[in-house]
């Protein structure tokens, strides 16, 4: 199961709201632990998304360089 960033952030907000409205210390502490866990999952998902986007960009740039080099070679020396 893949957790989305939005889902994790929504659960973190719900836990924060629960902590704010908790009348008992143990309930507040549990909600704060839950908030921290959900926020950590959201932060991890954000990091993964950024890494994937960067890798995709690097791959595209490498393909563009290879295409440009191939086109230059054909211009300089004719088709292979």
Instruction: Express each pLDDT in 65-76 by its tens digit.
Output: 999 888 887 776
Asked whether the whole model's pTM tops 0.75, one would answer no
What is the span of the domain harbouring residue 20?
5-73
Give the span between the Cα atoms of 60 and 54, in whole angstroms.
10
Asked if residue 78 belongs to a domain, the reply is no
Asked if residue 79 belongs to a domain, the reply is no
Asked if residue 80 belongs to a domain, the reply is no
Asked if residue 49 belongs to a domain, the reply is yes
The total number of structural domains that make up the chain: 1
78 in the Ramachandran plot: left (φ > 0), alpha (ψ -120 to 50) or beta?
left
Tens digit of pLDDT for each residue in 12-30?
Answer: 999 999 999 999 999 999 9
């Amino acid at each position: 199961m893949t957790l989305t960033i939005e889902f994790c952030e929504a659960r973190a907000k719900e836990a924060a709201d629960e902590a704010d409205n908790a009348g008992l210390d143990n309930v507040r502490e549990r909600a704060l632990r839950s908030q921290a866990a959900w926020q950590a999952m959201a932060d991890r998902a954000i990091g993964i998304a950024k890494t994937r986007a960067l890798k995709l960009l690097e791959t595209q740039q490498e393909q563009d360089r290879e295409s440009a080099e191939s086109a230059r070679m054909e211009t300089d020396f004719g088709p292979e």
